[in-house]
Amino acid sequence: MQTAAQIPHDVSYLDYKGKYKGIFAWIFSTDHKRIALLYMFSMMTLFLVGVALGLAMKLELIAPGRTIMGPQSYNAVFTVHGVIMIFMIVIPGLPAVFGNFMLPIMIGAKDVAFPKLNLLSWYIYVLGALLVIASVLFGNGIPDTGWTFYAPYSFKTGTNLLPAIFGAFVLGFSSILTGLNFIVTIHRMRAPGMTWFKMPLFPWSLYGTAWIQLLATPVVGITLVLVSLERIFGIGVFDPTLGGDPVLYQHLFWIYSHPAVYVMILPAMGAISEIIPTFSQKHIFGYKAIIASTLAIAFVGYFVWGHHMFTSGMSGTAQYTFSILTFIVAIPSAIKVFNWISTMHKGSINPDIPFLWAVTFIFVFMIGGFSGLVLGALATNVYVHDTAFVVAHFHFIVFGGVGFAFFGAIHYWYPKMFGRMYDKAWAKMGWAFFTVGFLTLYSPMFYLGMMGMPRRYYDYLPEFHAANILSSLGSWVMAFGLVIVIINLFRSAKNGPIAPMDPWHGKTLEWTVPSPPPVENFDEIPVYGEKDGPYNY
């Protein structure tokens, strides 16, 4: 085994030749940066599958009646699309890729607290993904319940649901272990002098996220085990014919899955909080307010799950309690938006690619947020529940939020991760197509939902045709933008011009190490002085 003293400090993590060669040098590596890239390539592969399924759905909806698939196939496609995108992409997304890569560097550490556990988390992630894929390839038909696996249908359907449920259960362990690793890393491995209130905002967001991963994920794990037991043995927890309560399933599922929305969005907000001050060349406005809002979102986010269940037959008392609590969670989100805008105010703005993704994030996230008020209010929720309006809101928050932040983050940290710069003209073109396509794809769904088009139907009434055509065209434009972005990033990783150490003039610690960083990040662990801080512009 190579000791720390033998690891050269002038060799980048990409060029380092360790004990293993070829692909084994990657899949057996405990370096947090290599693990981050393992996650990124696995997710990118699955993401492309999810996108292809999404495009197939939009193609089906380009005209009323059967276009390219029947109702059963449509049910299967939206289920697998949801399971892949939620459990394998957006939940692990930013923490697994940028959290793994950047967290230790940003806090001045050589690695995460438990490097082997970190690699195990990736193995578990791959195992979970393979189980879900197995549910598609083998057995009695592709799962058709939707990604929520709602009871009682989840134990009544004849499709191959158990591997998919077990896959989601296994994926949860990956999330829990990553969360645990990050909490210990942040508590124990910050650079000397880096007090809590000198820590950058991205690690802060990962800290809030990690607590949700650690505490909420076991709930969905147990719930999925109960569904499996219900399906195999008929234990009667959720089955009303055996005295069970299917609404209990919804409670348990959303006790995890609503906080999971904040697992997705908090790191996205953290990445935006890094990009905005760097490209405004200005100290972040309201640093402590952003931290407080991060923790407030993480905490209050636990108590709002019932707004997914307003039409489930829940008691009136619970309904208005959840409605009020939902409005409360909007406040810390609004604080963040206010602080980002205020940071830009009178800043020396450099409208480069990461900044364009970041401001577009704010724009689409606000549309998603405001439409969330419609869904948080009881009276309006009942009107648009389970319509295309919900699909639009959800994608503006989850894809608009996480997707735009992810692409912002990759364009921001790319020169650090790969030591090369991408082609900016192509990057701008990709961003433009993606943004126009995104808005064209999802905006008509708000209208369709308000007009009464239900979601998860492969067919619709003729009056919904025009808006559906527009939406389907938008999906092609967005996919074209996505292709440009991905090809540009892939090409540049090998052929792009060499990137300097600090191309954006950032102030956080990752910009003080070479691009790409050496194996153990720092020759010497940095020491934070009295006047040092992450945003001292």
Partner 1 sequence: MEKEKHHIVPYKVYFYILIALITLTFMSIGITKINLGGYSVLGALVFSTIKSVLVLTWFMHLKFDQPFLRFMVGFVALLFFAIIFITFLDYYYR
Closer residue to partner 1 (CB): 103 or 300: 300
The SS3 of residue 281 is: coil
Residue 125 Cα to chain centre, angstroms: 15
The secondary structure of 336-370, three-state, reads HHHHHHHHHCCCCCCCCHHHHHHHHHHHHHHHHHH
Using CB under 8 A as the binding rule, the residues of this chain from 200 to 219 that contact partner 1 are 215
Q: Which of 317, 498, 524, 530 binds partner 1 (CB under 8 A)?
A: 317
Closer residue to partner 1 (CB): 11 or 328: 328
Closer residue to partner 1 (CB): 81 or 258: 258
Closer residue to partner 1 (CB): 192 or 313: 313
Closer residue to partner 1 (CB): 280 or 294: 294
Q: Which of 262, 302, 355, 361 binds partner 1 (CB under 8 A)?
A: 302
Q: Which of 16, 47, 125, 322 binds partner 1 (CB under 8 A)?
A: 322
Which helix or strand (DSSP H or E) is residue 90 part of?
A: none
**Sign of the torsion formed by the C-alpha atoms of 397, 295, 339 and 276:** negative
Closer residue to partner 1 (CB): 307 or 395: 307
In the complex, least distance from residue 443 CB atom to partner 1, rounded to whole angstroms? 34
Q: Which residues pair with 420 in a beta bridge?
A: 498
Q: Could you give the CA distance from residue 176 to residue 408 in angstroms, rounded to a whole number?
A: 26
Asked if residue 321 binds partner 1 (CB under 8 A), the reply is yes
In the complex, least distance from residue 168 CB atom to partner 1, rounded to whole angstroms? 21
Asked if residue 147 binds partner 1 (CB under 8 A), the reply is no
Alpha helices for 377-403 (secondary structure H)? 378-384, 388-397
Interface region with partner 1, contact rule CB under 8 A, candidates 28-36, 133-141, 301-309, 517-525? 301-309
Q: Could you give the CA distance from residue 374 to residue 384 in angstroms, rounded to a whole number?
A: 9
The SS3 of residue 9 is: coil
The SS3 of residue 104 is: helix
Asked if residue 316 binds partner 1 (CB under 8 A), the reply is yes
Closer residue to partner 1 (CB): 318 or 349: 318
Asked if residue 314 binds partner 1 (CB under 8 A), the reply is yes
In the complex, least distance from residue 317 CB atom to partner 1, rounded to whole angstroms? 4
The SS3 of residue 387 is: strand
Q: Could you give the CA distance from residue 352 to residue 343 in angstroms, rounded to a whole number?
A: 16
Asked if residue 235 binds partner 1 (CB under 8 A), the reply is no
Residue 29 contacts residue 16 (beta carbons within 8 Å): no
Instruction: Show the site string, 348-377: x = touches partner 1 by CB under 8 A, - = not.
Output: ------------------------------
Closer residue to partner 1 (CB): 322 or 464: 322
Q: Which of 72, 315, 348, 350 binds partner 1 (CB under 8 A)?
A: 315
* Of 367, 394, 402, 399, nearest in space to 456 by CA: 394
Using CB under 8 A as the binding rule, the residues of this chain from 237 to 256 that contact partner 1 are 247, 251, 255
Closer residue to partner 1 (CB): 259 or 437: 259
Interface region with partner 1, contact rule CB under 8 A, candidates 7-15, 306-314, 428-436, 485-493? 306-314
What are the structure tokens assigned to 161, written together?
Answer: 């649901």
In the complex, least distance from residue 314 CB atom to partner 1, rounded to whole angstroms? 5
Interface region with partner 1, contact rule CB under 8 A, candidates 22-30, 233-241, 274-282, 307-315? 307-315
In the complex, least distance from residue 184 CB atom to partner 1, rounded to whole angstroms? 13
Using CB under 8 A as the binding rule, the residues of this chain from 75 to 114 that contact partner 1 are none
Asked if residue 184 binds partner 1 (CB under 8 A), the reply is no
Using CB under 8 A as the binding rule, the residues of this chain from 411 to 450 that contact partner 1 are none
In the complex, least distance from residue 80 CB atom to partner 1, rounded to whole angstroms? 30
Q: Which residues pair with 12 in a beta bridge?
A: 518
Residue 406 Cα to chain centre, angstroms: 8
Residue 451 Cα to chain centre, angstroms: 30
Q: Which residues contact 528 (CB under 8 A, 6 or more apart)?
A: 108, 191, 192, 193, 194, 195, 198
Asked if residue 73 binds partner 1 (CB under 8 A), the reply is no
The SS3 of residue 180 is: helix
Overall residue count recorded for the chain in this entry: 537
Interface region with partner 1, contact rule CB under 8 A, candidates 272-280, 300-308, 330-338, 374-382? 300-308
Asked if residue 303 binds partner 1 (CB under 8 A), the reply is yes
* Of 38, 215, 207, 208, nearest in space to 125 by CA: 38
* DSSP-derived secondary structure letter, 160: S
Residue 119 sits at φ, ψ, to 5 deg, of -65, -40
* Of 144, 164, 165, nearest in space to 73 by CA: 144
Residue 130 contacts residue 84 (beta carbons within 8 Å): no
Closer residue to partner 1 (CB): 6 or 317: 317
Closer residue to partner 1 (CB): 251 or 411: 251
Closer residue to partner 1 (CB): 69 or 215: 215
What are the structure tokens assigned to 223, written together?
Answer: 């719930």
Closer residue to partner 1 (CB): 120 or 184: 184
Q: Which residues pair with 454 in a beta bridge?
A: 387
Q: Which residues pair with 519 in a beta bridge?
A: none
In the complex, least distance from residue 319 CB atom to partner 1, rounded to whole angstroms? 8
Which amino acid is located at 478 in the chain? M
Which amino acid is located at 260 in the chain? A
Q: What number of chain residues touch partner 1 (CB under 8 A)?
A: 16
In the complex, least distance from residue 327 CB atom to partner 1, rounded to whole angstroms? 15
Dihedral, CA atoms, 425, 428, 434, 437, nearest 10 degrees? -90
Q: Which of 167, 306, 354, 449 binds partner 1 (CB under 8 A)?
A: 306
Q: Which residues bind partner 1 (CB under 8 A)?
A: 215, 247, 251, 255, 299, 302-303, 306, 313-318, 321-322
